[in-house]
């Protein structure tokens, strides 16, 4: 019965953290979606670390499902990519997607390795 509360609590803080980070990056670099890129790559690493750490189920629900689920954002990544494509910024869009996916997978693996050690 406590599991939904852990996810909700983690999700609240993850959403606030994502908003804060995204706003900061948007002020510093308004023409490139670095905020989304940063939260997705950091989230990949941290989720990999959590998975490899042997954390208890409650910690996985609070941090992994709740916080990281709200901190990272698949839908914003896709929307920003579509916006770049609509502006015919093909190279920028392709680079954004390639960096997000390739580095995201690599960072999740790296985080898992750190978590295991």
Q: Which residues lie below 8 Å from residue 30, measured CB to CB, with a gap of 6+?
A: none
Overall domain count for the chain: 1
Instruction: State which residues form the domain around 83.
Output: 3-116
Kindly give, in sequence order, each residue whose CB lies less than 8 Å from that of residue 53, ignoring residues fewer than 6 positions away.
Answer: 115, 116
Confidence of residue 1 (pLDDT cuts 50, 70, 90): confident
Tens digits of residue pLDDT in 40-65: 999 999 999 999 999 999 999 999 99
Q: Is 65 annotated as a binding residue?
A: no
DSSP string, 31-89: TS-HHHHHHHHHHHHHHHHHHHTT--HHHIIIIIIIIIHHHS-HHHHHHHHHHHHHTT-
pLDDT digits (tens, 9 = 90+) for 60-90: 999 999 999 999 999 999 999 999 999 999 9
Residues 6 or more apart in contact with residue 116 via CB below 8 angstroms: 52, 53
104 among annotated binding-site residues:
no
Q: CA 14 to CA 20: how far, in whole Å?
A: 10
Give this prediction's pTM.
0.91
């Amino acid at each position: 019965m406590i599991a939904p509360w852990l996810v909700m609590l983690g999700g609240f803080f993850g959403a606030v953290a994502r908003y804060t980070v995204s706003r900061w990056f948007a002020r510093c670099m308004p023409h490139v979606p670095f905020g989304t890129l940063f939260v997705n790559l950091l989230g990949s690493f941290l989720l990999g670390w959590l998975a490899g750490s042997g954390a208890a189920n409650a910690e996985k629900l609070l941090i992994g499902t709740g916080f990281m689920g709200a901190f990272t954002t698949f839908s914003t990544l896709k929307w920003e990519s579509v916006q770049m494509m609509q502006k015919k910024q093909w190279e920028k869009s392709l680079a954004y997607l390639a960096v997000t996916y390739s580095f995201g997978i690599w960072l999740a693996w790296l985080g898992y390795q750190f978590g295991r050690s």
